[in-house]
């Protein structure tokens, strides 16, 4: 069986097309993974920002309680406030 120049060229062309298609698919997968990673970074950044905001609110409340305690003394416990004792 003769393997002609035309058949060799056709095989080479088919290989080149297959390779190009695989490279394109690999680039698409890499782009998708990059987008997923970037979205995760955005989510984490948002979560960290919200956590910082909550911590800031907690710090403000703790400072307010500290000022109250400094001015009026310790807060009553649940038992003390339920029975009206100090």
Kindly report, residue by residue over 33-46, the tens digit of the pLDDT. Answer: 999 999 999 999 99
Q: Residues 6 or more apart from 36 whose CB is under 8 A from it?
A: none
In the chain, where the domains are located: 26-73
**What DSSP state is assigned to residue 84?**
T
The answer to whether 68 and 75 are in contact (CB under 8 A) is yes
The structure's pTM equals: 0.54
Alpha carbon 7 to its chain's center: 52
In the structure, what pLDDT confidence band is assigned to residue 76 with cuts at 50, 70 and 90? Answer: confident
Residue 85: pLDDT band with limits 50, 70, 90: low
User: Are the C-beta atoms of 75 and 65 separated by less than 8 Å?
Assistant: yes
Cα(72)–Cα(25) distance, integer angstroms: 70
């Amino acid at each position: 069986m003769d393997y002609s120049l035309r058949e060799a060229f056709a095989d080479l062309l088919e290989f080149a097309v297959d390779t190009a298609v695989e490279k394109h698919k690999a680039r698409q997968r890499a782009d998708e993974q990059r987008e997923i990673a970037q979205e995760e970074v955005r989510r984490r950044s948002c979560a960290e920002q919200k956590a910082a905001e909550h911590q800031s609110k907690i710090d403000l409340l703790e400072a307010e309680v500290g000022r109250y305690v400094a001015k009026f003394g310790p807060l009553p416990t649940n038992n003390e406030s339920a029975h009206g004792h100090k």
